[in-house]
Amino acid sequence: MLKDITIGQFFPADSLVHRLDPRFKIIMTLLFIIMLFAGQSMICLATGAAYTVMAILLSKIKFRMFVKSIKPIMPFLLVTAFLNILFVNDGTVYFHWKFLKITSEGINVSVIMIIRIVILIAGSSLLTYTTSPISLTDAVERLLSPLKKLKFPVHELAMMMSIALRFIPTLIEETDKIISAQKARGAEFDTGSIMNRARNLVSILIPLFISAFRRADELATAMECRCYCGGEGRTRLRQLKSAPRDYIALAVTISFLVCAVIINILT
Amino acid sequence: MAVLKTEELTYIYSQGTPFEKTAVDHVNLEINEGEMIGIIGHTGSGKSTLIQHFNGLLKPTSGKIFLDGQDIWADKNKIREVRFKVGLVFQYPEYQIFEETVYKDIAFGCKNMGLDDNEIKRSVTETAHDIGLPEELLDRSPFELSGGQKRRVAIAGVMAMNPRVLILDEPAAGLDPSGRDRIFDCIKSYHKKTKNTILIVSHSMEDIATFADRILVMNQAGIFCFDETEKVFSRAEEITQIGLDVPQITRVFLELKKRGIDFGKEVYTVDYARELILKHLRERQVL
C-alpha cells in the first residue's frame, strides 16, 4: 500500500538524462515549468508535452511509473476541473440552469488546466526519478551558494533536505512494519467504525514518532562522532562537473521555451 | 492433521517495477498441530515473507495457504479471524508498543478480539506471569522498562490472544545471553503448557537445535530442506555450503568424522555430545 508512493523516488539506470549534471537538471526543470505557464493556448502546451515525452523517452524509465505519479492527484484535478466548468462563465453557453452555466470557455479552461498539471507532474517527477537524492541536494547547495553572502544557511538547508529525503523510504518502511505488527494484533485500519479506526491510528503514530526521534538522536550522535560541524571548510568526494552534453541539453530546453513564448505571442 | 499448509505459494515484491523480486518461490509445506518448528535461512532467503503469509498479512501472488484445511483467502472478510488464530510476533516487537501501561499494551490484541473485561484480565495476568513479568510492572509505562522486559511485553501481547499457531521472528535478536535464554525458556514452557503450534525464525542454529521438532531451511526463496532436526543436521555439510552455520558441536563432530572417529549419529546438542563421547571412551576403556 505505502510502497506505491513514488514521489521523490529514484530509479537508477544508465541514460542520458541520468548522466546530466543535477544543477542543469534543476534549472531545466524550472525552465520547463515556465514553459508550461508561458501561454494559455493548446499549441503552447503541446510544446511542453513534446518536451516531456522526449525527456521521458531519453530517460529509459517506464511510462507506467509516470502514470503512477499522476494517479494520486487525479481526484483533486477532476474536482477542480469540474468547478472550473461550472463557474467560468465566458464564451458560448451550452447549458444553463439557475446560476450554473456550462460554457465553451469553462470547458476550455478546465481541459487546459488538467493537461498542464499532468504534464507538470510527469515532467518534474523526472527530476527525482533520474537524480539520486544526494546529487540533488548537492546541486541545490551549489545553486543557492550565492545566498551565503547574505548569511543564509545554505549548507544546513541542503543537509536538512538530504536527511529528510534519505529518511522518507526508511520511515515508509517503518510505518509498513508497524501497521503489519498492529494488524497482527487484530487492529483494523480499513474496516470498522470511524472512531475505532481513529483510535487504532494512535497505535501507528506513537511507535512511529518514538522511532523517528530515536533515529534522529542516533543520527546526530553518529554525525558528531565523525566530527561533523557544519559546512565550513567541508570538501566533497564528488565534485559536480558540467560536460558539453549539459550545455546542449540546456540549449535544447531554452529553444523549446523560446518556441513556446513565440507561439504564444503569435496566437 | 496439518494445521498450516501451503500450496505452490509464491510472492513477488514490487511486481512490474525495476525492483521486482521473487521472495517466495513455489513453496509447498505442511505443519502439524502442536509442532515446534525452527526456520532458518539467510537474510533475504524469504523466511520473513513466508511467515507473513501464514496470518494473511501478505496475500500470495499465486498459490494458496490453508489453515485447518480452509483456504484463508477464500473469504477476504474473515482474514481478521485468521490473525487471531495465527499470532505473529515481528522482529524487534518492542517498537510496536504504544499504550500507557504494560497491562493495556498486552491487552490490545485481546481487546481487538472482542473479549470481555474479565477474560482480558485473566488472559493478561496469566500471560504476564508465564513470561516472567512481575505483577507490579503491569501498571508501569512500558517505555520505562529494560530492553529485555519490553521484548517480553510485546511477545506477551500476542501470546495473550492465545493463538493456535504462534510465530516468532527472531525473538531473541539483540538481547544479551541471559535475555536470550529467558525468552527461549518462556517459549518452551509456553509450548509445554498450551501445546500450541510454534514457529520460530532464527539465525542461530544453536538455539533452534535445542528445541525444534523439525527445521525448515530456506535458501534463495525456496525450501532447501524441511525435516526432523536430526535429519537436517545429517546434511550439515550441504548446509555449510549454502553459507549457514551449523551448531559448533556439530562442526566438532564433523571434523572428528573426517579424522576417522565416526559416531554414526548426528550430534547437535552439547548434552548429547557429552553422552556419546563418554560412551565412546568407556568402550575404548580409556576411562
For A212-258, the pLDDT digits (tens) are: 999 999 999 999 999 888 777 788 887 888 889 999 999 999 999 99
Verify whether the Cβ–Cβ distance B98 to A207 is below 8 Å: yes
Chain B positions in Cβ-Cβ contact with residue A197 (cut-off 8 Å): none
Q: Which range among B10-24, B113-127, B136-150 shows the weakest confidence by mean pLDDT?
A: B10-24
**What pLDDT is recorded for position A7?**
57
Q: How far is CA A263 from CA A38, A120, A259, B112, B271, in A?
A: 10, 19, 6, 63, 88
Instruction: Indicate the Cα dihedral angle A205, A207, A213, A219, nearest 10°.
Output: -120
Q: Is B10 exposed, middle or buried (0-12, 13-18, 19+ CB in 10 A)?
A: middle
**What residues of A are in contact with residue B115 (Cβ under 8 Å)?**
none
CB hemisphere CA count around A19 (13 angstroms): 11
- Within 8 A of B14 by CB-CB distance, chain A residues are 3
Q: Where are the domains of chain B?
A: 2-230, 247-287
Mapped onto helix, strand or coil, the DSSP state of residue A94 is strand
Q: How many Cβ atoms from other residues are within 10 Å of residue B234's Cβ?
A: 16
Beta partners for residue A101, in sequence order:
A96
Asked if pLDDT for residue B1 goes beyond 80, the answer is: no
Share of chain A above pLDDT 70, in %: 97
- By the 8 A CB rule, do B58 and B20 touch? no
Length of chain B: 287
pLDDT at A1 (0 to 100): 45
Cα–Cα separations (whole angstroms), residue A49 to A42, A56, A122, B30: 10, 10, 10, 55
ipTM above 0.95, yes or no: no
Instruction: Tell whether B12 is within 8 A of chain A (Cβ).
Output: no
Name which of B17, B88, B98 is nearest A184 (Cβ-Cβ). Answer: B88
CB contact under 8 A, A187 and B108: yes
To the nearest 10 degrees (0 to 180), the angle between helices A63-70 and A104-130 is 120
- Residues of chain A in contact with residue B161, where contact means CB-CB under 8 angstroms, are 185-186
Residue of A nearest to B77 (CA): A191
Testing the interface with B: which of A173, A174, A185, A205 to mutate, by most B Cβ within 10 A?
A185
Phi and psi angles of residue B140, each rounded to the nearest 5 degrees, phi first:
-85, 165
Interface membership of B52 toward A (CB under 8 Å):
yes
pLDDT for A4 equals: 56
Name the grid cell of B211: 528445541
Residue B169 bridge partners (DSSP): B201
* Partners of B197 in the β-ladder: B165
pLDDT above 90 coverage of chain B, percent: 50
Per cent of chain B over pLDDT 70 is 100
* 3-state SS track over chain B: CEEEEEEEEEEEECCCCCCCEEEEEEEEEEEECCCEEEEEECCCCCHHHHHHHHCCCCCCCEEEEEECCEECCCCHHHHHHHHHHEEEECCCHHHHCCCCCHHHHHHHHHHHHCCCHHHHHHHHHHHHHHCCCCHHHHHCCHHHCCHHHHHHHHHHHHHCCCCCEEEEECCCCCCCHHHHHHHHHHHHHHHHHHCCEEEEECCCHHHHHHHCCEEEEEECCEEEEEEEHHHHHCCHHHHHHCCCCCCHHHHHHHHHHHCCCCCCCCCCCHHHHHHHHHHHHHHCCCC
Q: Do A182 and B88 touch (CB under 8 A)?
A: no
Taking alpha carbons only, the member of B248, B194, B119, B90 closest to residue A177 is B90
* pLDDT at B241 > cutoff 90: no
pLDDT at A43: 81
Nearest CA-CA partner of B38 in B195, B268, B200: B200
Model pLDDT, residue B223: 92
Quick one: pLDDT at residue B67? 92
Q: Cα separations (Å) of B164 from A121, B34, B66?
A: 49, 9, 14
B66/B71 Cα distance (integer angstroms): 4
CB A122 within 8 A of CB A51: no
CATH superfamily of B2-230: P-loop containing nucleotide triphosphate hydrolases (3.40.50.300)
User: Which chain B residue shows the shortest CA-CA distance from A182?
Assistant: B96
Chain A residues within an 8 Å CB radius of B112 = 185-188
Is the CB of residue B182 less than 8 Å from the CB of residue B147?
Answer: no
- Contact, A68 vs B16, CB < 8 A? no
pLDDT digits (tens, 9 = 90+) for B186-221: 999 999 999 999 999 987 788 888 889 999 999 988
The answer to whether B163 contacts chain A (CB < 8 Å) is no
User: Are the C-beta atoms of residues B171 and B159 closer than 8 Å to each other?
Assistant: no
The pLDDT assigned to B141 comes to 93
What does the pLDDT read at residue A240? Answer: 83
pLDDT score of B287 = 65
Weakly modelled stretches of chain A, pLDDT under 50: 1
Question: Residues near A52 by Cβ (< 8 Å), separated by ≥ 6?
Answer: A32, A119, A122, A123, A126
Q: What is the pLDDT of residue A5?
A: 59
Is the CB of residue A187 less than 8 Å away from at least one CB of chain B? yes
CA distance A41 to chain B (A): 36
Tell me the pLDDT band of B266, cut-offs 50, 70 and 90.
confident
Which residue's entry shows cell 532436526? Answer: B229
Ranges assigned E (strand) in chain A = 93-97, 100-103
pLDDT value, residue A6: 57
Q: Mean pLDDT score of chain B, rounded to an integer?
A: 89
Instruction: Report the distance separating Cα B64 and Cα B42, nearest Å.
Output: 24
Mean pLDDT for B39-43 is 88
At residue A136, the pLDDT reads: 87
CB burial readout B180-193, b (16+ within 10 A) else e: bebbbebbeebbee
Q: Which residue has the higher pLDDT, B102 or B42?
A: B102
> If you average pLDDT over residues B254-262, what whole number do you get?
84
Local structure of A61: helix, strand or coil: coil
- pLDDT of B132 > 70? The answer is yes
Confidence of residue B52 (pLDDT cuts 50, 70, 90): very high
Give me the phi and psi of B267, to 5 degrees please. Answer: -115, 125
Asked if B132 contacts B102 with a C-beta cutoff of 8 angstroms, the reply is no
Beta bridge partners of B4: B31, B67
